[in-house]
Structure 1
Amino acid sequence: MRLHRNLVYTTIDSLHAIFNEGEYADKVVARALKKDKRWGSSDRKFVAETIYDIVRWKRLYMEIAEVKEPFDRDDLWRVFAVWAVLRGYPIPDWRQLEGTPERKIKGRFDELSKIRKYKESIPDWMDELGIKELGEELWSKEIIAQNQPAKVILRVNTLKITKEKLRAILMDQDIETEFLKDQPDALVLKERANVFLTDAFKEGFFEVQDASSQLVAPFLDVKPGMRVVDTCAGAGGKTLHLASLMENKGQLIAMDLYESKLKQLKLRAKRNSAFNIEYRIIDTTKVIKKLHEKADRVLIDAPCSGLGVLKRNPDAKWKLQPEFIDNIRKVQAEVLENYSKIVKPGGKLVYATCSILPSENQEQVKRFLTTDTGKNFTFVKDVKILASESGFDGFYMALFERKEKKES
């Protein structure tokens, strides 16, 4: 087990882009993996996993390395040295790693591992917020679970293939998968693999979507032939799931504020052979008003803090700010108030977030039900998914039914 110079240099360059230039880790990793065509799968695995590892444990490693932001290259090498020592790599005699204090690093790690904000590598404000909203014990369990690397989960596109057939096709390419109990469309990869390079992906046989996220579309209880609106569609993971549950029958309207996201969704829909989707950019309030009381089902997959998906977005720990969470709560309240009006009497509404904070979830639901719009709805049930209990992303979803109008 030894370190290879070109892989480590790529890792250092990537960390510079993420920490000093504010780039997103997933984009930086994707670019890094294309750097050298001669790299084998184990080389690419080292680069991707090392970058994510150091991003995930940034605060702990910074504290051990005794460096502060903004990092110069020497600082990044010191942080890398901490990672290498703690992972058991022999330190090579490279100039940048000269004098690495191995015993001191291990001693500091043992010392800091007694303090949660260092041990779990989170900002002070996030630790305080987690305790306030979930309580000390549950927050501790949850942040430990959120620091585990995410598994790769596929959602089988039932418009094109069955779960069993897809599993067999992937098996032929040495990609082993397992079924997931109570998740009819999910396959879990036994080991990480770049599934986007497979013919099965190019032919639209599956999408990559976490197991918790795959529960949202079925919760809406759609049927073929309905008119369904996904109000915050984004790049459309849940929209595509709805299309397959509707068997391409009926009308599925995908809406978003950003045209660029809907363009991505169009490409994905084409690959998935999802043909019942219409695209609408929310550029004025008229777009929503035109649909008032017109839809059988409405999904509000609301913008949120993303504190349920730190597993797959570890850099969000450092990008998120407390002010953002205060603002996003206001946005959630407005979105719930405005977009719920699209549901017709007797129709159903789902409000969902990928957050674990009650202030973005149960409290939003409670507040909504006291508003003039919310009084037209009956709360049916909600589901809270915690990473510490499920092993997957943290998620929340609430189901409402719009009351029938009283005959005058």
Structure 2
Amino acid sequence: MKLHRNLVFAVIDALNLTFNEGEYADKVIQKVLKIDKRWGARDRGFIAETTYEMVRYKRLYAEIAEIKAPYNRQDLFRMWAVWAVLKGIKLPDWKQIEPTPERRIKGKFDELSKIRKFKEAVPDWIDELCVKALGEKLWSAEITALNKQAEVILRTNTLKTTKEKLRKALLDEGIVTEPIKGYPLALRLPERANVFVTDSFKKGYFEVQDASSQLVAEFLDVKPGQRVVDTCAGAGGKSLHLAALMENKGQLIAMDIYGSKLKELKRRARRDGAHNIDPREIDSTKVFKKLYGSADRVLIDAPCTGLGVIRRNPDTKWKLQPEFVDKIVKVQHDIIRSYSKIVKPGGKMVYATCSILPKENNDQVASFLASEEGSDFTLVKEKKIYASKDGFDGFYMALLEKANK
């Protein structure tokens, strides 16, 4: 493999911004890829994939390189050299690359690979938390699966096309896709490609959405003509899916505390032809209190630790702090009690997270059902999704029904 200096330097720049400046890896990569417009798909792929892999295994590579944060530029080159040696890539004769003891690197790798927190590159506290929550066997399998590169999964926008027509349209544009059994609207890309430049994307034929995430809207059992409230809509991935399931009939109120995210939802809704979405910024409690007792369906896609989607956001492992877990559990506790009041008698609600921790998931639902606010609700069904078992992001969803009285 021939290494180009400007590509490796771009990786080092990206690592510096992610590790030392605290920026998010996905935003960093978008920024770095704009440095040179002459880079082709292979060049861009090298920068993105190398950066993600080094973020993913930061603890392992740093331990082998014998460096500690904060990392100066020479440290980052040492870490990159470890990555290259372990990939079997011949190191270039550049002044930035120190003489590298390849045998010692491989020996250290073999030694550290016997210890999960190094092999899978997780902080001690996350390792301990997840072992306690899931058990040794499940956590070991799960973190291995979560360290794999996430696949590109598309969700067909049925407001504009069918899955079969979408496959053909993408094939005409040179992109091969495969259906996924058990996921009615999903298509998988066997080979990565930039789907955002396709005409099919510009025409709103699909959204990029993990297969697990696609199950959440389905779980809510919406019908055309209903009033549906998506309480934590964000940029609207699930709102857009709900609009399609509602066939643009009825009212879909998409709420969020961040107005900037709702602006992105509006833009996406225009592209997708989703006309029944009513975005509302939660700038006071009045916004949701006046909806109490009025909705046929309510989705609470609650803020969470994101431990189920580490494949997509590998820097979560390094940015997450122990105190945040307790803080977000309290936020979830309050959200489910407040937003559940929006459900009308006989209506249904889904509580969902992209976490694998029981304290954010089934424990949270059990606590709600035992509370005064949850006394009129019953648990209809729940689903726990693990990357190690299903092959997609880790998720939790619970469908609850409110008594008709």
TM score, norm. by length of structure 1: 0.98
Q: Distance in 1 between matches of 2:107 and 2:251?
A: 61
Give deviations 1:225-278, integer Å, cap 9, x for gaps: 000000000000000000000000000000001101101100000110100011
Please give the alpha-carbon distance, in whole angstroms, between the structure 1 residues aligned to 2:201 and 2:42. 22
Alignment partners' CA distance in 2, 1:176 and 1:31: 28
Distance 1:62 1:29 in 2: 21
- Which 4+ residue blocks in structure 1 deviate beyond 6 angstroms? none
Instruction: Report the counterpart of residue 95 of structure 2 in structure 1.
Output: 95
Equivalent runs, 1:6-405 vs 2, <5 Å: 6-405=6-405
2:106 partner letter: K
Q: CA–CA distance in 1 between the matches of 2:32 and 2:171?
A: 27
Alignment check: 8 A CA contact 2:14 2:51 kept = yes
1:172, distance to aligned residue in structure 2 (A): 1.6
8 Å Cα contact 2:78/2:98 also seen in 1: no
Aligned length: 405
**What SS does the corresponding residue of 1:336 show, helix, strand or coil?**
helix
1:194-240 superposed Cα distances (whole Å, 9 cap, x missing partner)? 11111111111110000000000010000000000000000000000
Q: Which moved more, 1:275-284 or 1:331-340?
A: 275-284
Partners of 1:26 and 1:274 in 2: how far apart?
27
CA distance in 1, matches of 2:115, 2:167: 43
Greater shift, 195-204 or 78-87, is seen at: 195-204
Is the 2:150–2:311 Cα contact (8 Å) retained in structure 1?
Answer: yes
| Distance in 1 separating the partners of 2:295 and 2:40 | 50
Q: CA deviation at 1:38?
A: 1.7
| Secondary structure of 2:91's aligned partner | coil
Deviation at 1:37?
1.9
- State the 1:2 CA deviation: 2.1
Q: Distance in 2 between matches of 1:2 and 1:81?
A: 15
> Matches of 1:194 and 1:26 in 2, distance apart?
14
* CA deviation profile, 1:39-95 (whole Å, cap 9, x unmatched): 221111111100001000000000000000001000000000000000110011111
Alpha-carbon shift at residue 391 of structure 1 (Å): 0.6
Aligned equivalents of 1:87, 1:280: Cα separation in 2: 49
Write out per-residue CA displacement over residues 384-403 of structure 1, whole angstroms, 9 at most, x where no aligned residue: 00000011000000001000
Unaligned runs of 5+ in 1: none
Determine helix, strand or coil for the equivalent of 1:255: strand
**Whole-angstrom distance in 2 between the partners of 1:386 and 1:124:** 21
Which residue identity is paired with 2:6?
N
Cα deviation for residue 98 of structure 1 reads 2.9
| Alignment deviations for residues 334-381 of structure 1 (CA, whole Å, 9 cap, x no partner) | 000000000000000000000000010010011000111100101111
5+ residue gaps, structure 2? none
Q: Which secondary structure state, in structure 1, belongs to the residue aligned with residue 375 of structure 2?
A: helix
- State the percentage of identical aligned residues: 69
Which deviates further from its counterpart, 106-115 or 284-293?
284-293
Cα distance in 2 for partners of 1:365, 1:37 equals: 49
Distance 2:271 2:6 in 1: 36
> 3-state DSSP class of the match of 2:309?
coil
Alignment-mate amino acid for residue 279 of structure 1: P
**TM-score when scaled to structure 2?**
0.99
**Per-residue deviation, 1:35:** 1.9
How far apart, CA to CA, are the structure 1 residues paired with 2:341 and 2:274?
A: 26
CA shift for structure 1 position 101: 1.2
Q: CA RMSD in A?
A: 0.7
Cα shift readout 1:4-46 (whole Å, capped 9, x = no counterpart): 1110011111111111101110011112222222222111111
In the alignment, the residues of structure 1 paired with residue 261 and residue 43 of structure 2 have an alpha-carbon distance, to the nearest angstrom, of: 32
